[in-house]
Structure 1
Amino acid sequence: MAKKAVILVSGGLDSTTVVAMAKSQGYDCYTLSFDYGQRHRSELVAAQKISELMTVHAHKVVKLDLGSIGGSALTDSSIEVPETETTGIPVTYVPARNTVFLSIALGWAEVLGANDIFLGVNAVDYSGYPDCRPEYIKAFETMANLATKAAVEGQKLTIHAPLIDLTKGQIVEAGMALGVDYSNTVSCYQANLEGEACGKCESCRLRRQGFEQAGIKDPTRYQKNA
């Protein structure tokens, strides 16, 4: 019987690559997305489409309202998404997002009898978010193995972050080698309802840089004014 894995998917380049990696390792994949009040809601459509195209065992969307606490340009429309490089932790950081997402993934994994959770965090070409660091992933895994009935009964849970030490170019190369079609992914922080990217936000800049590093033609669909 194949091992089961819960995979956090946003519809973007990184998480789609992670699904391909998990599948290549023989996991039965269960993808999990969050409708958390994000302004770039076309990512949910992309996550659904990608999950279907990659024939995962199940795709679940959990509705949260992180917009009710705000504090991020991704959940509060009064905070503008920066279109130039910034210093420090950017306003696109969503407070506690990965902790909330991983906690729900942990619950679903326990229900499914899955001992593995995958996510696409990256600590090289990334925006400086504190919950994308290796020490954070390690700390959450430690907590997870203290917090669940499954772990207490001997079913150790592992958090996999296979992209954490890769550049964006290396991520693109890895995905291409596994047959990922990046034209279906949406990474932009302010994509329109059709999933077309702005081409100006930090996520768009990092994504474009990744294709350039990999020497791959950028398949991203951009808005006309991008």
Structure 2
Amino acid sequence: MSEKAVVIYSGGMDSFTILHRAHRDGFELYPLTFDYGQKHKKEIAYAQAVCAELNLPHRIIDITAINQLLQSSSLTSDKTIPEGHYAADNMKSTVVPNRNMILLSLAIGYAVDIGASKVFYGAHSGDHAIYPDCRPEFVHAMNAVAQIANYDPVEIVTPYLSGDKISILREGLAMGLDYSKTWTCYNGREKACGKCGSCVERLEAFTLNKAIDPLIYEPVA
């Protein structure tokens, strides 16, 4: 019998790659997607479509009630999504307070409930500068807690923690993955904006991998 694993699956590039990697490696997967009131809710539809294609038991969990506690972030409020690279200080407005601790806690609880021993989570080094809850010290601390928080220990698996989106994309392209099935843009409009930090990092990864991004972007003004 295959080992059960939960995958925190947003519908973006990183979690898309980790989902397929874990699927390739033979895990019995239980993808978990969270609706926390994010502006880019469009990513949820992308996650749903991929899981249906792979015939995986996908759960979409509505935790939008917490949105009223997280209004300091431009992703969960009426604040404007900043433009530019993640290295820029203005991108800190996209930090959702305690988001990954909340999501990991729920995923660990789900893993214990279904008898899964692992939770896959797509943190990577490209997010370290802006997002404290993607840094190694946070992940290692959460992993330590996950070993003792329940009768059944759960391992948080982060294969890309020391890599970046460029290397993640490189691996995914080598696996033959179709990234038109992912959504990255923080603006949930019909087309990707190409200007927010998430879009900029995505486009940079494709350029450095000498590949063409299959997503359609808004025309440059």
Deviation per CA, 1:183-224: give whole Å up to 9, x if none: 0100000031x4x21110000000000111111111122134
CA distance in 2 between counterparts of 1:32 and 1:98 reads 13
Which residue matches 1:62? 61
SS at match of 1:124: helix
SS at match of 1:91: helix
SS at match of 2:93: coil
SS at match of 2:94: coil
Determine if the alignment matches structure 1 residue 201 to structure 2 residue 188.
Answer: no
CA distance in 2 between counterparts of 1:120 and 1:162 reads 7
Picking from 168, 171, 182, the partner of 2:165 is 168
CA distance in 1 between counterparts of 2:31 and 2:201 reads 24
Which residue matches 1:53? 53
Which residue matches 1:112? 114
| Structure 2 contact 127–135 (Cα < 8 Å) conserved | no
Tell me the TM-score normalized by structure 1: 0.91
Q: How big is the shift at 1:145?
A: 1.3
Unmatched segments (≥5 aa) in structure 2: none
SS at match of 1:139: helix
Deviates more, 1:117-126 or 1:16-25: 117-126
Determine if the alignment matches structure 1 residue 211 to structure 2 residue 203.
Answer: no
Picking from 214, 217, 221, the partner of 1:222 is 217
Deviates more, 1:160-169 or 1:82-91: 82-91
| Structure 2 contact 82–90 (Cα < 8 Å) conserved | no
Tell me how large the CA RMSD over aligned residues is. 1.6
- For 2:206, the aligned partner's letter is F
CA distance in 1 between counterparts of 2:32 and 2:217 reads 26
| Matched length | 217
Deviation per CA, 1:65-92: give whole Å up to 9, x if none: 2320111000001x11111342276100
- For 1:117, the aligned partner's letter is V
CA distance in 1 between counterparts of 2:177 and 2:134 reads 23
Q: How big is the shift at 1:110?
A: 0.6
1:1-226 alignment, distance < 5 Å? 1-56=1-56, 58-65=57-64, 66-69=66-69, 70-77=71-78, 79-85=79-85, 86-87=88-89, 90-124=92-126, 128-151=130-153, 157-192=154-189, 194=190, 196-225=191-220
- For 1:23, the aligned partner's letter is H
CA distance in 2 between counterparts of 1:179 and 1:54 reads 15
Tell me the TM-score normalized by structure 2: 0.93
- For 2:216, the aligned partner's letter is R
Deviation per CA, 1:79-132: give whole Å up to 9, x if none: 111113422761000001000000110011011100010011112366520000
Structure (1/2) with the larger helix percentage = 2
Unmatched segments (≥5 aa) in structure 1: 152-156
